[in-house]
Amino acid sequence: MKLLVAVLNWRTPALTIECLRSLEREIAGLPGARVIVTDNASNDESLQRIGEAIRGNGWSSWAELMALPKNGGFSYGNNAAIRAGLSRNPPVDGVLLLNPDTVVRPGAIRSLLEFMETHPRVGLVGSRLEDPDGTPQRSAFRFHSLLGDFEGAVRFGPISKLLGRWVIAPPPSDEACPADWVAGASLLIRREVFETIGLLDEGYFLYYEEVDFCLRARRAGWPCWYEPSSRVVHLVGQATGLTNKAHRKRRPPYWFNSRRRYYVKNHGRAYAALADLLWWIGLATGQVRRIAASKGDSVPPWILRDAIANSVFAKGFDL
């Protein structure tokens, strides 16, 4: 497969450079592979530092830097690279979305490409994401649903067991397996998927865009798989800070906007409203249980209040 790797930078030049460094040996073994780093108008030293790293390390033969005029979010930034790859003659055969806060283990990209070559009807395949010490992260998921979001909010053993088939983030598998969606931190997409369903939805600023894309692909007949032999270190939350294990931040409005957009767009406003109601009940129940058990709060600050304020019931809501 002729491959394009898309890396989106926004004010993370050091991470992006280390990501490129980890790609150097991988790209050398993949003739014709290219990397496009797009920058979402960081307005810091990103363009200078990344550009100097590409030139100074001799990466110009396989990597290029594309400055974008605004910070339009994850889909916007990645779509710019994807359009460039698809417009080439001949176009690329596949696009690997790769976060800047990743370090590619040896052979990780080749594992994804070999999987695609041996599974021609699979449209998307994702890597095993892991901590620097090799501990696997949950990166293959089920689609969000009424009961899935409720379980994720309650997080109580008996309820989780009862709703096991709807748990959004099941434990990582040691074997290649189908998944509803995989994390966009390392996700290989076949060119024909873009030709069938179009690019990433730029209506999402950040979060839920890969869930939406995998659902659209599934509905068009392109399934998604998880390939754990492709190992990629993911420095969780380093790029956004929202999911950093060491410090949970309050979720910004765009996170809730993305969740709301996903439900309304794909399931309708009535389903989205019911999903919100069940989610609120789950969040409130989980909070009461944690207080009663004298457990520390493991959810983002103000999550229930913000969930209500940014729901489909919010005044002036528009998809």
Tens of pLDDT along 246-277?
457 899 999 999 999 999 999 999 999 999 99
Domains of the chain (ranges; CATH) run 3-137+172-234 (3.90.550.60)
Give the C-alpha distances (Å, rounded to integers) separating 261 from 207, 212, 213, 254, 268.
11, 9, 13, 10, 10
Q: What mean pLDDT is predicted for residues 20-33?
A: 96
Q: CA–CA separation, 148 vs 166, rounded Å?
A: 5
∠ Cα 259 214 223 (to 5°): 150
In this prediction, residue 248 carries a pLDDT of 76
∠ Cα 267 119 229 (to 5°): 95
Rounded to the nearest 10 degrees, the angle between the axes of helix 209-219 and helix 253-267 is 10
In this prediction, residue 98 carries a pLDDT of 98
pLDDT in tens, 41-88: 999 999 999 999 999 999 999 999 999 999 999 999 999 999 999 999
Q: CA–CA separation, 12 vs 10, rounded Å?
A: 6
Closest CA to 256 of 196, 315, 304, 293: 304
Q: CA–CA separation, 122 vs 124, rounded Å?
A: 6
Closest CA to 81 of 199, 213, 196: 199
Q: CA–CA separation, 98 vs 82, rounded Å?
A: 12
Closest CA to 35 of 88, 97, 79: 97
Give the C-alpha distances (Å, rounded to integers) separating 101 from 71, 129, 137, 274.
18, 11, 14, 35
pLDDT in tens, 171-224: 999 999 999 999 999 999 999 999 999 999 999 999 999 999 999 999 999 999
pLDDT in tens, 107-152: 999 999 999 999 999 999 999 999 999 999 999 999 999 999 999 9
Calculate what percentage of the chain has a pLDDT beyond 90.
88
pLDDT in tens, 239-248: 665 655 545 7
Q: CA–CA separation, 158 vs 193, rounded Å?
A: 39
DSSP 8-state symbol, 314: S
In this prediction, residue 246 carries a pLDDT of 46
- Measured in residues, the chain has a length of 319
Structure tokens at 207: 């979060």
> For residue 152, with 0-12 CB atoms within 10 Å meaning exposed, 13-18 middle and 19 or more buried, which class applies?
buried
- The model carries a pTM of 0.95
